Amino acid sequence: MSTRARKKHSQAVTLADVAQYAGVSGITVSRVINHPNKVSQATRQAVQEAIDMLGYIPNQSASSLASARSRVIGVAIPSLSNIVFTDVLRGIYDVAGTSGYKVLMVDTHYSALEEERMVRTLLSQSPEAMILTGGEQTQACERLLLKAKIPVVQIMDLLDEPMDMNVGVSHFEAGAAVAEQLLSAGYGQLGFIGARMDKRVRERLAGFKSVLEGRGRFWRNFVQVTDRPSSIELGGELFRTLMGQAGDVVDAVFCCNDDLALGALFESQRMGLDVPGDIGLCGFNDFEVSAFTNPSLSSVAVPRYQMGVTAAEMIITALNGGEVGPKKRDLGFEVALRQSTDHL
């Protein structure tokens, strides 16, 4: 067994061991771990190979004490199982990783009280910044974050009074745009189905409703909502209930997300309805599958990956003492019209 192998098995591997193995200085190893963007790719690769070979685990606690910086960004999202947040997180990780920061993520389960508890947990780890979803934090949670005096970005929604920085889209305007598009496509009796009913979904419904009320075309029995979590199965259930209570006069339905829209599409086919002739359907989030159903599903596309990238870039800029620029950024949306609303 080699000297290095004996070292690996007999006692903890140190940063000095990694430096010796890679043929670089200890400072260079530290830079690769904490500031990888400041080191050449060849050096990063050599050091990473040494770390992998020796099984070195950096002592983040010691590093934080030495530098008074944790190099951790806390992220709170409502659900780890909701694929809506996958692209957002990918954007955050891509920027944070290349900037030498680590992401510590928690699931708040769509609960403001759980979010408060999770924020307390995150703050105990001394994060340098926080990214939160939406703007429905409790007063206690907001006080904790303000007292922490760290950069905070609230994502997904556009907020009137963000705590610090904000990047998102207007869900109200998105809902209104869907109503306008469906009316322009020749549909006249528009329904809505929604689930979970968090603030973003309520805003989509409010925007949708505002357009219809302005045209004298909003009827309460054309709306079917529940606080249950979204699923394709639930979409079919809500669609059938809506069509039954509305007397089958509804000729287009806006679904608060693509899960429900897919369920509505499958249920409409089981009911013998032609899409888009008898019924038009539009979802929200524009999942990849929506473009490949038959007929293809219209949906609202939101730049989720770019939202994560932008939030992380704002954080990194603030931490580096740079000028963040606009602290509130609207990334916009696009109503992607496809075959499911091709009525004309």
- How far apart CA 246 and CA 331 sit, in angstroms, is 36
Block residue for tokens 């357009």 = 211
pLDDT in tens, 166-222: 999 999 999 999 999 999 999 999 999 999 999 999 999 999 999 999 999 999 999
The band of 63, judged by pLDDT with boundaries at 50, 70 and 90, is low
> Phi then psi for 169, rounded to 5 degrees?
-135, 160
Strand partners, 105: 75
Q: At residue 65, does pLDDT exceed 90? A: no
Residue 9 banded pLDDT, cuts 50, 70, 90: very low
pTM over 0.85: no
Are the CB atoms for 15 and 26 separated by under 8 Å? yes
Beta strands 72-77 and 129-133: pairing type?
parallel
Distance separating alpha carbons of residues 31 and 213, to the nearest angstrom? 59
Query: What is the band of 68 on the pLDDT scale with cuts at 50, 70, 90?
Result: low
Nearest CA-CA partner of 35 in 91, 93, 102, 92:
102
pLDDT digits (tens, 9 = 90+) for 121-160: 999 888 999 999 999 999 999 999 999 999 999 999 999 9
Per-residue confidence at 10, pLDDT binned at 50, 70, 90?
very low
